[in-house]
A and B are shown apart, each in its own frame.
Chain A
């Protein structure tokens, strides 16, 4: 065992695990608390396909519902995703960064290095899952919810075996190809595909048995939380992991190591082709370097595409027919949701289509989606060029610093409006398909306010980035302030004593006037726009005044 490689891998990765375990625990606590207050019959009457995908068993009680809904779906995916991230990075990541040569210049074999990294991955996955196991116990204890009849240990063991499987899968692909992106991407693809398959296939007649071809089945297919450890399933996962780990250790010794590389994309291959090259070159090459804003847009086009498709389909179009499918009498059970939960998800009367869209889309996800894009651009736009040390070269051109700030902001604003527009089209379409009859003008007003509130936090990240030159300060600062102001707005709605404080939160100017029902409030829009403009001006000022950072 290479103690130093093992220890360095631990040191490089423990933070993301701590953050993941802490946030999963907090979310679990919140949802157990919320579920405690809810009439669960609603879940039982959901269409079976939804229940199956959410991992909700029949005859569920509060604890099993909350634990399964979280640990069974995105909790398990989060743990597996971090594990496979580590797995993919183990050798291929060092090749990509160009550090592999230095590492292997030491008298240690590739096998040793990979084995040490695998060991630290196993240890971290184990510790994280133990932490979650403890958190569930603590949450149940704190809320006075009984978990006596549940096989928590069994779920934990299944989670451990399953996460390691994806970790070793990514490690094997990375070790074989030397391509970190391929390792992580393929393993995530396998994970999502099998998650969906396990939810859907049992509902399709004649296809029930195919589910056994998907690894997710061996994690949750036997519902270990209710039924205890399925040793056969654990055996399958363990055997597959062992094969993958052994395979990784063998193949990593067989191939040539790659030198530092940025890799090629499909577009690059097209550009290299003598036939397509000219056209593609003009489309992808000259356009993306035509200006600072265009280059920024090119860098974030994939983030925009993914978030736009997600918002359009999941947050927009699909919700309309789903709402229409919920039986009338069930809608009243929504009002059993604790008020504080509703307030935190943006409030709204769930028995109306407007309230439903407010809870599902506009309350939380829609502004979050815009913020993901605006904060990414705002934080990385300036500080990213500094940490990658390209800012000096960029500013050697005869352009003002303010132009760099403003052009990058231009991309941010453009993308925010694209997302707002996509949300508008998605929700309006969903409303039409579901026959919900939400006023189109009101949807447009809400989406405009959504765009503006997203820009408030994007420009906040920009100002932090401009003032400090540090990417992490900008990202975590904007997210932290966003969460606090969101909580402030939600809590102020519940507590009359602090009701006036809501006006300090941008979220108040977003949904405070219930735009889906009441339409546009131009004063609120003006407040948000004013904050955005002020933050942009502040960014320009801060960026002009300070020394550029030379290193990260």
Chain B
């Protein structure tokens, strides 16, 4: 067991884990990953690297972060860090009490104890309790001994908690237009669930009542809030309000407002055969009066073409909240534009072979529903990392040792636990203060 622990806390292993992790992450930037690769990029990469495909597929390198071996590697690293933190705790306690005068530089000789303490205090060194007056020790930033311990403990906690979140977390996203309700049995727009989590279900029907958008003096959206109603299975209605950067909570769930929101245009398109088709196309909120917001291309069952739209906030270009947007509709054949028309509310136009009418405009918003367990531990880990890192790198302990001589005065030694030459000036100032008044 001791041998295993020694192996787990070996410095070579730590270095290997750091370099191995960096190399693995680099690999994930070279091999396209399913989670973020652009459409076609993955297939193009595979076509150009046929000789490597057996290895890529064996290790599932197109989805590195979701692999059990990746989670196992993370947990192994967390365990190694936790064990090494335990050792560092013992080492920090030892160092705090240790007499390191034999390894320190001689700073001054024949210094009375009172003078030693006075000079030490004046330079920020605190006397530590020592056994007898034979040897005394003063330390600047004694908590610095524990900085490295905290840094490593924080990293271990953050990795461990992140792994729990990744394995048990789940989320789903949905797009709602004002007045629309989504039921629990309906599919999500997109969803994810960790290996140990069941798929997420809404706890009741979720209705979008209204989307409110506030603008600043530069006409930039400063606040976006969706007012919602959740109807529980028992029939009770719960009012909810999700806003960008303001999370709504319902039980274990958190509801996030996405940055995707805008106007949904209700259209009626009438073909040459007299058949009328109604569609609703969601356009992203324009970022300014002069710039348009754009929709995704919309495929329909009744047309061989894709329908796309862009819109401006105000047909007169005066106000982001005019309620009178201008929408430009296009029929696309792949990348080629087949027809185009511009409409305001209630207006009719011609779009290729269709007569099209803009019947109404409502707001839409994309919401993200999240169920994550362990985030508190992740953030606690972050806090410990920050505390440990700042202590370790900004406040390395400096030690002053006094060794009593036969005449009752002290030989004074100084040393720093890290960054030796960086504190030479402090050492020299201290030495000057200790020697002051001596011949």
Q: Do A and B bind each other?
A: no
Partner-A contacts on B (CB < 8 A)? none
Partner-B contacts on A (CB < 8 A)? none
